[in-house]
Structure 1
């Protein structure tokens, strides 16, 4: 078994529902293979998936289960990866979508870059924001 090569190492804050801030470390693999290492309270967890956005979703789901939000660009409500960014960047980058006339090119951000605690949200609220942005109504469960 080969030892993973980590291309980046980032420390991100997490925000609990009670306002407590605690840091986690994420080591990010090479662009060609979506692999990260989450280190939370000294406990390492390696995550590998089809792209980096999916790896981030695994981390966010885990943290949200503990009532914590990950404070990164990929957790902002208006950040969304297009199919092209997923394919060509392996999901590491995403667009910052803005309300407006659509004449401007959206900014592109690294989903693992830090974001202020005031700008992050849950995965459910992020999905709802995106559906609203597109003018779609989310499917109802009966």
Structure 2
């Protein structure tokens, strides 16, 4: 399985998971079978609010899941329409969140948790 984690900066397994999908500067994609990590720059970083194109952001790389602290409704729906499961990540590193995902401790992202807007720091207004 290939899981994507939005990150501020690629630091391998110790990369802190970023609080919002669309404004994340980069993504760490983990292949859970091989343990291989791939860093991908966000190819859709400068989109208008509500116009995130998540598959473009990932540079067309295939993933089975995304683990993120915050995401807008449009991006959530676009990922789900492609059969990509979105999980609600917690503060911590890629390694921390992957362990929680493996242990079944990251819930599937609910529409009730989606972001309604962005604050001045680029994060979700509800964080």
- For the criterion TM > 0.5, the same-fold answer is no
- Calculate the TM-score normalised by the size of structure 2: 0.35
By percentage of residues, which structure has more strand? 1
By percentage of residues, which structure has more helix? 1
Q: Say which one has the larger Rg.
A: 1
Higher relative contact order (CA 8 A, sep 6+): 2
- Calculate the TM-score normalised by the size of structure 1: 0.32
